[in-house]
């Protein structure tokens, strides 16, 4: 399993920390109309495949499934990648926007890898 698409109710349970057991999640927020999001998909899947464990999970969430979610989470739009530790209360950390976006992906792959490594090691 590398990246699973999640529903709005599942995302809300993750964000509220309402899971049977704590999880550490990386969630890519995307839109089907975003060219960056489409190009970023394979890179995010590759990073997920290299890092998935029983305690670290990778998800993708289409913002059209829950309008207003980017505002609620104070994200600047899509694509956005966040780390969520579901220990109650859930802890959410967003990957910062790059000073100079990647031409095709928006985020630079090395920045995503560093973000994943930093957060999975800090727990």
Please write the tens of the pLDDT for every residue from 14-38: 998 888 788 889 999 999 999 999 9
Q: Is it the case that residue 48 has pLDDT exceeding 90?
A: yes
For strand 80-85 and strand 91-94, is the pairing parallel, antiparallel, or unpaired? antiparallel
Beta bridge partners of 62: 30
For residue range 97-119, list pLDDT tens digits in order: 999 999 999 999 999 999 999 99
Question: Nearest to residue 59, comparing CAs of 21, 7, 97, 22?
Answer: 7
What phi-psi label fits residue 17: left (phi over 0), alpha (psi between -120 and 50 degrees) or beta?
left
> Top-level CATH class of 3-121?
alpha beta
Residue 121 has pLDDT above 80, yes or no: no
Let me know the angle formed at the C-alpha of 11 by 68 and 49, rounded to the nearest 5 degrees: 120
Better pLDDT: 4 or 89: 4
Average pLDDT on 40-54 reads: 91
Bridge partners, 84 (sequence order) = 25, 92
Q: What is the pLDDT of residue 88?
A: 63
For residue 40, the model assigns a pLDDT of 97
The domain segmentation of the chain, as residue ranges, is 3-121
């Amino acid at each position: 399993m590398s990246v699973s698409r999640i529903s709005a109710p599942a995302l809300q349970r993750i964000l509220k920390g309402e899971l049977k057991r704590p999880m550490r999640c990386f969630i890519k927020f995307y839109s089907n109309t975003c060219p960056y999001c489409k190009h970023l998909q394979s890179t995010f899947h590759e990073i997920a495949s290299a890092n998935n464990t029983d305690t670290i999970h990778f998800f993708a969430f289409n913002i059209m499934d829950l309008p207003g979610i980017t505002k609620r989470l104070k994200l600047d739009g899509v694509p956005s990648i966040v780390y969520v530790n579901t220990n109650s209360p859930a802890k959410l950390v967003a990957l910062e926007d790059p000073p100079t976006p990647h031409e095709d992906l928006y985020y630079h792959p090395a920045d995503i890898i560093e973000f994943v490594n930093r957060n999975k090691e800090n727990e």
